[in-house]
Every structure is written in C-alpha cells, then in structure tokens.
C-alpha cells in the first residue's frame, strides 16, 4: 500500500523543509518549550573516549561490541477493546535508532532478524545515521536494503529523529519508506481503519505537534514519535498507542539494566519498555543500533513485534 501526498501536504512539507533547514544549522536544540544549548556534546564525546579506553584496558571492549549484534526479537500482545474488528490480530514491527553506519554489517544482522517474524506493518521511529550533521547519502543504500524486507500489507511508515536531516524526505520513493512529517495516514481493512500519526523529532527540531491534537473522527490512533516528549499531547487527545525510541534503553547499563545515561528528562519510566499515560499505552524501544560508541552492556538491541487484539 502506498500513501500519496495531497497537494495540501506537499505545500506544508515545503514550509516544514525551510523551517527544518534553518533549525539544523543552528547551534541550539529547538524544543517544545524553547531553545537548549548543544554545547555539552563535546564534553560527552570526550567522556565516551575515556570510557572506551578503560573498556579496552580491562578486556571488556570485545564483549560490548559483540552485544551490538545480539539483536533480540521482543514480542508483545496488546489488548484494546476499541480496536476495530478487522484489525484484530494486526501485527506491527517496530524498528528504532538504526544508526546504520555505526558498525559495518549491522544492516545484515537487522535483516536476518526481520526475516524471522511476520507482520502487517513496519514502523520506524528515527535516527538512521550515526552523525547528527554532515553527509547522509551513504546510509541510503543500506536503508533501501532493509526497506526491501519490511514491505507488508501496508507500506512502512517512519519519522525522523535528532540524528536525521530534512533532506532524507527527498528519497522516500527511492527507499520505499513513507515519512510522516507532522502527518497522518489511514490504514483501511474493509470498513474499518486505524489512524497513524507521525511527528517530526521533538528532541532537537521541534516544529509542530498539532497533528496529535487533530483526528477527523473517533478512531483507534497510533502515534509515532522519536522521543516520549509528546506523550502528554497524544494522551490528552485519546491516542491509544505511542511508539518511540531515542534512549537506546541506556545502551550502557549497570547490571539489572539501570541506564547510566538516557538523554531524556521525562522520567525514568520512559527510558525503556512499556509505560502508561492516562489511558494510552506507550513503548520505548531499546533500538537496533548504537550511538556514541559501538558498545552495549546489560542492554541488548531489539526489534519489537506488537500483536494488537480486541481482548
């Protein structure tokens, strides 16, 4: 199934692209409640360099690198009494934070895991490259390779993350993945439908979340956002399921899975796995890839399969 853009959506995208291009060249993160400096990133990368040195010194580096390729398949069955009957048993494959250029061959591992599951729709919640600036065209080939394996009854839907550029929207047709840039689509089976809304990244490039406050009529609604930062808006507007990523589940965690760093401030419950906000169910993926350093400790990567059920 393809998702053609209306003329109105095309015009809105042009305005968004101009706005996003300006934000990407700025020295600040543009968040929902104002600007925030990016200056701490250089210090963070120095800390990561020291961390890697000690992991190598104590012989733990190779184990952390090996964990990067141990992608789990997390399967969950979610019950929603208001789920349309035609979508009972609907399966959603969730991929997040691929950072596909962070480690050579990562896309092949992701594809091998995808081949092990059956699904009706694949959604991707941002961060497709390692860097947050500069060139990106080198990731198009591996992304297209993955896209070949995530075509299902409904074509894949994706949103951008804080490591992504607005220019990726120019390659939708080539990749076979439809970006939702503050946009909503309807998935139909017979007379029943699901609403899927996707917001632009709110971590660094907040542009507009008004789509989460708009639905043409009462419907079962799914929100795709890179972070959990818009969960309150979605919950207030009766979204049923909110899927996000960004945190990598911590990526480097203490035994037991306690994240040392999560890069989110909404609360510990949003770092990894399931959470609830009002009547809305939410899920934060630990992600497929890695960022900063190609290491994982006590936090394996994942792809996630959700089966929606009426009971």
How far apart are the C-alpha atoms of 103 and 148, rounded to whole Å?
A: 20
Supply the pLDDT for residue 47.
81
- pLDDT, tens digit, 9 for 90 and up, residues 7-48: 999 999 999 999 999 999 988 899 988 888 776 666 777 788
How far apart are the C-alpha atoms of 37 and 294, rounded to whole Å?
A: 25
Q: In terms of DSSP bridges, do strands 121-125 and 91-95 run parallel, antiparallel, or are they unpaired?
A: parallel
- Backbone phi and psi for residue 94, each to the nearest 5 degrees, phi listed first: -110, 120
217-to-5, 19, 118, 186, 220 alpha-carbon distances in Å:
20, 29, 30, 12, 10
3-state secondary structure 87-152: HCCCEEEEECCCCCCCCCCHHHHHHHHHCCCCCCEEEEECCCCCCCCCCCHHHHHHHHHHHCCCCC
Supply the pLDDT for residue 246.
97
| Closest C-alpha to 211, from 186, 182, 232 | 182
Supply the pLDDT for residue 79.
98
Domain ranges of the chain: 7-309
- Backbone phi and psi for residue 132, each to the nearest 5 degrees, phi listed first: -105, 10
Task: For residue 26, list its beta bridge partners.
Answer: none
CB 286 within 8 A of CB 299: yes
How far apart are the C-alpha atoms of 140 and 172, rounded to whole Å?
A: 10
Q: What angle do CA 182, 183, 186 make, to 5 degrees?
A: 155
Q: Alpha-carbon dihedral of residues 223, 226, 230, 234, nearest 10 degrees?
A: 10
CA 14 to chain CA centroid, nearest Å? 23
Q: What CATH number belongs to 7-309?
A: 3.60.21.10
CB 311 within 8 A of CB 81: yes
* This prediction's pTM: 0.96
- Low-confidence residues of the chain: pLDDT under 70: 1, 39-42, 214-216
Supply the pLDDT for residue 35.
85
85-to-75, 79, 122, 193 alpha-carbon distances in Å:
21, 12, 20, 9
């Amino acid at each position: 199934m393809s998702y053609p853009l209306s003329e109105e959506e095309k015009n809105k995208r042009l305005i968004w692209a101009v706005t996003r291009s300006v934000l990407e060249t700025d020295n600040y993160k543009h968040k929902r409640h104002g600007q925030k400096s990016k200056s701490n990133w250089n210090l963070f990368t120095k800390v990561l360099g020291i961390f890697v040195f000690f992991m190598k010194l104590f012989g733990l580096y190779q184990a952390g690198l090996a964990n990067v390729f141990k992608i789990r398949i997390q399967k969950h069955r979610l019950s929603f009494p208001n789920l349309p009957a035609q979508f009972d048993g609907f399966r959603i494959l969730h991929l997040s934070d691929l950072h596909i250029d962070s480690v050579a061959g990562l896309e092949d591992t992701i594809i091998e895991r995808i081949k092990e599951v059956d699904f009706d729709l694949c959604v991707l919640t941002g961060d497709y490259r390692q860097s947050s600036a500069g060139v990106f065209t080198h990731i198009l080939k591996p992304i297209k390779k993955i896209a070949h394996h995530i075509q299902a009854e409904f074509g894949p839907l994706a949103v951008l993350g804080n490591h992504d550029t607005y220019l990726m929207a120019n390659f939708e047709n080539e990749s076979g993945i439809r970006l939702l840039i503050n946009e909503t689509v309807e998935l139909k089976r017979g007379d029943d439908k699901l609403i899927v809304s996707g917001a632009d990244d709110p971590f660094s490039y907040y542009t507009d979340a008004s789509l989460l406050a708009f639905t043409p009529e009462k419907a079962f609604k799914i929100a795709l956002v890179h972070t959990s930062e818009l969960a309150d808006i979605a919950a207030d507007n009766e979204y049923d399921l909110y899927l996000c990523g960004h945190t990598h589940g911590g990526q480097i965690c203490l035994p037991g899975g306690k994240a040392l760093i999560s890069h989110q401030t909404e609360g510990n419950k949003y770092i990894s796995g399931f959470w609830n906000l009002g009547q809305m169910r939410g899920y934060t993926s630990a992600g497929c890839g890695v960022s900063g350093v190609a290491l994982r400790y006590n936090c394996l990567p994942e792809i996630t399969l959700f089966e929606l059920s009426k009971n």
